[in-house]
Structure 1
Amino acid sequence: MAARELWGRISAAIIAFAVLWALWPPLGGALERGASLPFAIWSLLRMFTITTNLLVGVVFARIALRGTHSVSPIVIGGTMLAIVLVGVVFNLLLGNLPHQSIWYAIGDNIHHVAAPLAVPLWWLLFSRHGALTWSAPFIWALYPLAYSAYTVIRAQFMPQGTGIYSRYPYFFMDADLLGWPMALANMAGIAIGFILFGMLAVAVDRWLAKRM
């Protein structure tokens, strides 16, 4: 096994372990408060941070176990872009949230700071480059759009509330607070931003392919 592949798999294993471990503090906290395991999981899966870090954990665990070539570059690229979105949105709009314990704080920083930095760095250093096409960003944008649809549908089965009791996980998606036109515009704006950053990722991918 080449040194680059070996270090790629080792670093992928570290990333996968970290993001999956960081799921435990909020899940364990919900269980300690008396929630059933299915309800605790259901509650966590309303968050884009959780679904995306779970995706990172699964993709990078597969890379660690079976090698870089076991995952398509388009899947790795989309996963990288999604976790970068987590970091950007959180640190620009949602930062400085209170933590119930040191373990919550560590897990929160893994999901919102460490992973959004480590995954694109891994992508730059270890991913196969040159296989992405200009259609990839439009495929990648299906993920935030699907999450938005999932959030809207899910909210219709929950009682209406405000603040921390909102049916929506993020204030910029909260149709109860902002109204449907603004909430949908925000969701569309995120998808458009996803496409634009995706175009940049494809350009970087092609530039790296020429240099390697």
Structure 2
Amino acid sequence: LSSERKKHLLEIASQYDLLIIEDDPYSYLVFEEGVDKTVLKSLDREERVVYISTISKILAPGLRVGWMLGPSDLVRRVEMVKQYVDLHSPTLTQYITAEAMKKGVIDRVISRAIPHYKAKRDLMLRVMGEYFPEYTWYSKPIGGLFVFTYVYKENFDAAKLLPVAIEKYGVAYVPGGSFHVDSRGANSMRISFSYPTHEQILEGVKRLATLLRES
């Protein structure tokens, strides 16, 4: 969001007495220069933003450690729920995360990860531009690990086609309906470039393009 939209969002929250959940696992992975990475929480003057982030997307998926900033009474309630669910996150992973922060490991990992993932993103976008049919639209993300795609083809349902994609074409994606608050996302999908190699990205996009044309 631009700084203007962030301020406007806070104004709306104030006007209607709303809380905003700022889920922010990917702002550390921004590929372009000049992008406003100011978190919404830093602009919050009325305790209306609940900020959530994690180490698992930037250091190691197995380190399931995260943090939350928000109104103290709400944070305390979440702490109690966390205790009911699993008592606490593993002590070892908390120590590992703390030491990684103290010793600058995370900053070094991020500095290497950004060009690594940027190259993968660029490859995926280039190959999608070459092979995807003309009735598709896809995002050009400035960061993160995913490309979001819409398929403007009659009766296309990404969730229903997922088993076919896996079994017949050997490719997978996340159906986009989960990322919509209504039913309009049936024709969308989220495609990841984080784990696949460059060769797998090339082959995977080709297979997905074939699925889109043949479905």
Q: Report TM bin, short chain.
A: under 0.3
Query: Which of 1 and 2 has greater Rg?
Result: 2
Structure with greater strand percent: 2
Structure with greater helix percent: 1
Of the two structures, which has the highest relative contact order with CA contacts closer than 8 Å and spacing of 6 or more? 1
- TM-score by length of structure 1 reads 0.22
